Structure 1
Amino acid sequence: MTADIQPTYPLTKAQVDEIASLHEADTSELEGQLKNLSETCQSNCASGFAKCANHQNEMRKLYQDAYTAASAGRWTSYRPTEYTQDLKRMFDAQATIDKINGRVRREKTQHIKDAQCTFGPSDHPTVKKAKIRAAELRGTGTSPADIDSYIIEEEQKLLSTLTPEQQEAQAEYNKSKSEAEKYSYLRTSACTPQPTDTPRDAELRQKWTKLFDNATPYLEILPIMEKDIADSKSNAQVLENRLADLRNAQAANNKAKAAKEESKRKQARDAIRRCCSEGCGNVCELHGPNADLGCERCFKLKEEGGLQDYSWFCSPECAKANAGSHNARFHSS
């Protein structure tokens, strides 16, 4: 890595647990300091804590140090710098502690939402759906406890469907405590070649590898990856549409070719002359001395458009023996 890795969402389970532990310790420490300050004031100041300017200023200093000091590993380290700057402005402007606490609560709520609902590069589609739903629930007044229960339930459902290898990979990710460990996992997840990769997939993984090698913030990498994947799918759809057009054209060509072949076969069948004598049906010669043996009256009618087919005889003997019966059947009227 060539640069420090900025804390980013989503959080691993280990990070969530560590943040919760640090927050509990920090809150306990601040409450203890405030209690000691109040007791000191009550013992030494006749005006009372609420009206004691000196101790009120000390109280504000305790809150300001707790809320704006460097906080590596704490939830505030994941928030944008604008949040800390906003708090400093509020303290400088002598905003009330209640108003400042309200600002902190809103940011903490947003932190929890971001921690629960931000997509990761290796998120299963089911996980993404659950995160989208969790974000929606936060806008409906659903209690945080119910949302937490929903997320845990969906995670358990997904884990039961994963292969042992996938479960192991997820467990390793959840153990990541530092941003470097998490970043390394995300890099491996996004950039490791897969047996099913297409040449385009391989190109994209090389591109993403360079982003990780340059320590590009994860929040900048994710939209790039999402766009690359969407573009790749779009290109694949274009190719699929073109392939479908080619298949349709090929099918039409095959159909036309089949029709042409059938026409040839029909012509070949039609070219076979069968003897018109009743009860005979022998094949007549197409070439040779007996090729033109047929009923003259039928020939004339065919030329005039009165008949569809000629009438042929297979041999002089058949013509002599059956000409009369043929005329009686077809030309007696």
Structure 2
Amino acid sequence: MTADTQPTYPLTKAQVDEIALVHEADTSELEGRLKELSETCQSTCATGFSKCATHQNEMRKLYQDAYTAASPGRWTSYRPAEYNNDLKKMFDAQATIEKINDRARREKMQHIKDSQCTFGLSDHATVKNTKIRAAELHGSGTSSADIDSYIIEESEKLLSTLTPEQQEFQAEYDKSKSEAEKYAYLRTIACATKPTDTPRDVELKLKWTKLFDNKAPYNDILSVMEKDIADAKSNALILENRLADLRNAQAANNKAKAAKEESKRKQARDAIRRCCSEGCGSVCELNGPNADLGCERCFGMKEEGALQNYSWFCSPECAKTNAGSHNARFHST
């Protein structure tokens, strides 16, 4: 992390704690110096503190120094440059301290919202849902104390469901105070290889590693990762659909092949003529002098569509002997 890189959200627990301590110390120091200035003015100036131009200017200087001090660990170090520019313009324009305080208060509330609701690279799905809900609460006028309680409660619920390894990772991340430490942790989480990684997974993780090494902003890295993951899922879906098409085509081909084979078997069965004489069942000749021996009446009915199959005899003797019984069975009406 280069020295001129602005710290970014989300914050680790260690960063939140550090900001709270620094802010408490800054506030205490400012209040002490303001009280001291007021007491000095009251004891030395006849006009009173509120009407003393000299001490009022000193008071403005105290506020300006406190509000615009650039120091790591202050919540203001996380805010965009526009905020400090706005304050400088307000002080230069002699805006009232009340208006300046209100501007600082609104920026501080936005800082709290950003610190609580900005997505992180390693955020669990439940954490993201909690942050979405917290953002809604911020927009609904819910008190900061109630929002804090909600986030703590949801965090404790999630922590109880994590594996020991996941809890250890979270604890290490919470200890991160510097941007470099956060980058190192998130780089490990996002880019560590696994035995189950596909060649495409390895390729993407190398790409993300370069983004971390180049200290790209969190939001840029997050956007790239989300797009890459979405593209990978889309490609996987396309591949799955193509495989499904291939399976369907293969199934249709197998079905057609099976139907063709069945047709061949049927033709083979049909090609074997069995004698229709009761109790005979011998195979009839397809060629030769005894071929095409059959019941003429059955032939006629088959041609007219009244019968499905012809009736064959295996020999002249069988035809002569069994013609009567055949007619009795099939043509007696």
Between 320-329 and 274-283, report the one with greater CA deviation. 274-283
The offset of 1:323, in angstroms, is: 0.8
Q: 1:136 matched to which residue of 2?
A: 136
Give 1:213-252 correspondences, 5 Å limit.
Answer: 213-252=213-252
What residue identity is the alignment partner of 1:61?
K
Question: How many Å separate the matches in 1 of 2:5 and 2:202?
Answer: 25
Q: 2:50 matched to which residue of 1?
A: 50
The offset of 1:242, in angstroms, is: 2.2
Instruction: Report how many aligned residue pairs link the two structures.
Output: 333
Q: 2:8 matched to which residue of 1?
A: 8
The offset of 1:65, in angstroms, is: 0.2
Question: How many Å separate the matches in 1 of 2:106 and 2:204?
Answer: 38
Between 203-212 and 279-288, report the one with greater CA deviation. 279-288
Give 1:259-278 correspondences, 5 Å limit.
Answer: 259-278=259-278
Give 1:119-268 correspondences, 5 Å limit.
Answer: 119-268=119-268
Q: 1:66 matched to which residue of 2?
A: 66
The offset of 1:273, in angstroms, is: 2.8
The alignment's TM-score, normalised by the length of structure 2, stands at: 0.93
Between 192-201 and 22-31, report the one with greater CA deviation. 192-201
Secondary structure of 1:138's match?
helix
What residue identity is the alignment partner of 2:100?
I
The offset of 1:4, in angstroms, is: 5.0
- In structure 2, do the counterparts of structure 1 residues 100 and 117 end up closer, same or farther at CA, with 3 Å as the change threshold? same
- In structure 2, do the counterparts of structure 1 residues 299 and 140 end up closer, same or farther at CA, with 3 Å as the change threshold? same
Higher relative contact order at CA 8 Å, sep ≥6: structure 1 or structure 2?
Answer: 1
Question: How many Å separate the matches in 1 of 2:160 and 2:288?
Answer: 84
Between 251-260 and 22-31, report the one with greater CA deviation. 251-260
Question: How many Å separate the matches in 2 of 1:275 and 1:326?
Answer: 11
Structure 1 gap segments, 5+ residues each? none
The offset of 1:272, in angstroms, is: 3.5
1:3–1:215: 8 Å Cα contact kept in structure 2? no
The offset of 1:294, in angstroms, is: 2.0
Between 86-95 and 255-264, report the one with greater CA deviation. 255-264
Between 251-260 and 132-141, report the one with greater CA deviation. 251-260
What whole-Å deviation, never above 9, does each CA across 1:70-105 have from its counterpart, x for those lacking one?
Answer: 121111111101111111111001111111111111
Secondary structure of 1:145's match?
helix
Question: How many Å separate the matches in 1 of 2:115 and 2:64?
Answer: 25
1:6–1:217: 8 Å Cα contact kept in structure 2? no
- In structure 2, do the counterparts of structure 1 residues 20 and 316 end up closer, same or farther at CA, with 3 Å as the change threshold? same
Question: How many Å separate the matches in 2 of 1:144 and 1:274?
Answer: 95
What whole-Å deviation, never above 9, does each CA across 1:128-161 have from its counterpart, x for those lacking one?
Answer: 1111111111111222112111111211121122
Question: How many Å separate the matches in 1 of 2:21 and 2:315?
Answer: 111
Question: How many Å separate the matches in 2 of 1:285 and 1:142?
Answer: 98
- In structure 2, do the counterparts of structure 1 residues 171 and 323 end up closer, same or farther at CA, with 3 Å as the change threshold? same
The offset of 1:61, in angstroms, is: 0.2
- In structure 2, do the counterparts of structure 1 residues 115 and 260 end up closer, same or farther at CA, with 3 Å as the change threshold? same
Between 193-202 and 275-284, report the one with greater CA deviation. 275-284
Q: 1:298 matched to which residue of 2?
A: 298
- In structure 2, do the counterparts of structure 1 residues 294 and 127 end up closer, same or farther at CA, with 3 Å as the change threshold? same
- In structure 2, do the counterparts of structure 1 residues 288 and 18 end up closer, same or farther at CA, with 3 Å as the change threshold? farther
Question: How many Å separate the matches in 2 of 1:151 and 1:287?
Answer: 93
The offset of 1:281, in angstroms, is: 4.0
- In structure 2, do the counterparts of structure 1 residues 238 and 171 end up closer, same or farther at CA, with 3 Å as the change threshold? same
- In structure 2, do the counterparts of structure 1 residues 287 and 180 end up closer, same or farther at CA, with 3 Å as the change threshold? same
Secondary structure of 2:161's match?
coil
Q: 1:76 matched to which residue of 2?
A: 76
Question: How many Å separate the matches in 2 of 1:71 and 1:232?
Answer: 42
Q: 2:95 matched to which residue of 1?
A: 95
- In structure 2, do the counterparts of structure 1 residues 12 and 287 end up closer, same or farther at CA, with 3 Å as the change threshold? farther
- In structure 2, do the counterparts of structure 1 residues 4 and 78 end up closer, same or farther at CA, with 3 Å as the change threshold? same
1:49–1:56: 8 Å Cα contact kept in structure 2? yes
What whole-Å deviation, never above 9, does each CA across 1:228-258 have from its counterpart, x for those lacking one?
Answer: 2222222222222222222222222222223
Note the aligned Cα RMSD (angstroms).
2.0
Between 106-115 and 195-204, report the one with greater CA deviation. 195-204
Between 2-11 and 115-124, report the one with greater CA deviation. 2-11
What whole-Å deviation, never above 9, does each CA across 1:282-309 have from its counterpart, x for those lacking one?
Answer: 5445456654332233234434544331
